[in-house]
Amino acid sequence: MATALLVRQLLTPLECVEEAALVMEDGTISAVGARDAVSIPASARVIDLGDAILAPGLIDIHIHGGAGHDVMEGSDESLGAIERMMARHGVTSYCPTTVTAPLDQTLRSLEKLGAAVQRAESDGHDATRARPLGVHLEGPFLSHARRGVHPPIHLQPVSDELFNQMWDAASGRIRMLTIAPELEGALALIRDVSRRGVCVSIGHSNATLQQARAGIEAGVRHATHTFNAMRRIHHRDPGLLGAVLTDRNVTADIVVDGIHVQPVMVDLFMRAKGVEGAVLITDAISAAGMPDGTYHLGSFEVEVRGDRCESHGKLAGSVLTLDRAVRNMMQFAKMSFQDSVRLATLNPARVLGLEHRKGVLRAGADADVVVFSPTGEVRQTIVGGRLTVS
């Protein structure tokens, strides 16, 4: 049976529709637009959501965990807890993100995560949970100089053979790869991985401007948690940030928690990348949604106090949620709610090559929808057209 939602405002997110209606059936959006222009089937269940704002389901392409669990645990119980927490914050799709770990542990995790993605693809996924779209492999091909908290003992030389092992373990469900392009052999792997349809992202890198541009020419088209774990920008040595911030063909994500990047720099980032080129991520760890304490990121411990996550004095992920990141963008960069929503919906969908069905409210797209209050708080999350998360 079709369901029609009536709201004060709807963000596609490229357009803002006032007094809108959205019709969904069998997990797909069948019609969307102004109420007087949308034909609602006579048999449809009609739900008037009053002053609410409808937007596409949020998409987090970089998240390590939440609700006390790490994605590398890989069990249905642990992923279920993380996915339900995300759904409560408006996230309907995500990329479970690995962290550099012992190779045998990484391969076991990839097997479990690949299987979880396959289950979600079969549409047997619980409607109370965000759905995994594919694995984001962060490491092990990272710069020792800019490794952040990734354990140096487990970083690996760039290797086609090793990547193929990880690819096979994940049953080909790797959608993103963060890599330092200055490493020996990186450019060849970037070319190969890009041909497989994987989004290659520059990150945890000490690349110079020239090395970054070589990576982009080879197939890098995104940047991971911009400013963090990167060669610092200097007016005579712009480094990889000089390439990322000025190349319109490269999108870039950012952690907007007020800790990873100072708000003035968030504003500067947006002036450089524009609303078309910026993506919001959380980089959240198992501590997200939990009280202060000691938690795990992959194989190592992280101390959490307030909003700050540290391991041996270094930032180690965040406890940020994506809906909060959207609201923070409005404050930090003086953006509209509509543009802030785009950074967590359409833009990450484009990074993954899924904009035809994710991150947008239009006929034929997946019925992944968030119901926001007029102040941007999540009232309800709809995954696959099922109104079960609130």
User: Is the bond preceding 152 in cis, omega lying within 30 degrees of 0?
Assistant: no
Q: Which residues are catalytic?
A: 283
Q: How many alpha carbons fall within 13 Å on the CB side of residue 173?
A: 26
DSSP state string for 229-278: TBPPPBTTB-HHHHHHHH-TT-EEEEE-SSSSS-HHHHHHHHHHHHHHHE
Phi, psi dihedrals of residue 132, rounded to the nearest 5° = -75, 135
Burial 192-203 (b: 16+ CB within 10 A, else e): bbbeeebbbbbb
Written in H, E and C, the secondary structure of 60-75 is EEEECEECCEEHHHCC
Q: Residue 99's closest CA among 311, 266, 352?
A: 311
Strand positions, DSSP E, 49-159: 53-56, 58-63, 65-66, 69-70, 91-96, 131-132, 135-138
State CA 88 to chain mean position distance.
16
Distance separating alpha carbons of residues 329 and 336, to the nearest angstrom: 8
State CA 373 to chain mean position distance.
22
Distance separating alpha carbons of residues 206 and 225, to the nearest angstrom: 14
Number of helices (H), then strands (E), belonging to the chain: the values are 10, 23
Q: Residue 253's closest CA among 12, 58, 61?
A: 61
Distance separating alpha carbons of residues 85 and 386, to the nearest angstrom: 17
Question: Alpha-carbon torsion 235, 241, 246, 247, what sign?
Answer: positive
